[in-house]
Amino acid sequence: MRILVYLERSDIRGGIEIFAERHIESLKAEGHEVEVATAFDAVRPLADSFDEIVVHKCSDVKTLALFPPEKTVYYVHDHEPICPRTYAYTPLGNNCARSGGFLPCIFCAPACRAWKAALRRVFAQGRRKRIMARFKKIVVISDFMKSRLVINGIDAAKVEVKPPVIDKRLLSTCDSQLPVPSVDILFAGQLIRGKGVQLLLQAMALMKSPRTLDIVGTGNMEPKLKALAADLGLTGRVRFNGFQRNPQEWMRRANCVVVPSFWQEPYGLVAAEAVALGRPVVAFAIGGLPEACGGKATLVPPGDVKALAEALEKT
């Protein structure tokens, strides 16, 4: 089969980009002829010559509407297609489990955008769902995300669940040296609000044992998190290691990997990789994280800092 994969350009190489790269590799390994496009201008003249078009990310609804519905397989990696705020939690920090629409979303969306931009976003989301409903197939990365699409009016029969591929090459034994002598508790991921590192630091402050935490990753919350660690008296127990190209090697050396996300993670690749490496995992039981952990992690109630601290003490 000839497959054209569309992934719009991004300055960030995050989970979507990693998933797409691994998906492309798996398609090629299955014997498919695969070509990648990062702009729709490259798709338009080629569309007729391909059997299937896979869309991994397309933020612009007008562009999405141009893909031939009878050939298009649309991958939903996160909440962007169904939430004008894209994160599925409210300005008050509460996770949203409602279906999207004008009335519920118009009061929430302006919190992160000007009114006119928010209105455009809300109307665009409604159009996106109508476009999605016409596509050949929709693929999500967890049963949790399938349930979110169904709540938003997408036919369950059209939605296929396909978890991210764990790259076994990254999990193979490696003798590379880390810049730290040992790793006790590890957090690996972007330092943004929804990842919950602020809750993890609060949990560290509640722990009776003087365990240490290594943080691998960077993001817009880093300065605030460093200040919070200092305020909580954790300066000697928490190390901020910045971006690292080999987070799996950090996981391999860790006594415990913690995933303290308080937003509804669509899946949780870090948790899945840590489990695949045989490392103990502690995580909040939210979104797709229980699925990613596959019953091999200690799950605590979402946002419960005390429970997180107690679980880390025991792990």
Residue 86 in this model has a pLDDT that exceeds 70: yes
Q: What is the pLDDT of residue 11?
A: 64
At the second CATH level, the architecture of 2-161 is 3-Layer(aba) Sandwich (3.40)
Q: Please state the rounded mean pLDDT for residues 175-200.
A: 91
- CA dist 177 and 72 (Å) reads 44
Domain boundaries, the chain: 2-161, 183-314
- Gap between the Cα atoms of 85 and 245, Å rounded: 30
Span 122-147, pLDDT tens digits: 888 889 999 999 999 999 999 999 99
Lowest mean pLDDT among 9-13, 39-43, 273-277: 9-13
Provide the CATH topology of domain 183-314. Rossmann fold (3.40.50)
pLDDT bracket for residue 12 (50, 70, 90): low
AA letter at 118: A
Strand partners, 33: 2
Same fold, 2-161 and 183-314: yes
Structure confidence by residue, pLDDT tens digits, 225-258: 999 999 999 999 999 999 998 899 999 999 999 9
Whether the predicted pLDDT of 110 surpasses 80: no
41, burial (CB in 10 Å: exposed 0-12, middle 13-18, buried 19+): exposed
Q: pTM for this structure?
A: 0.89
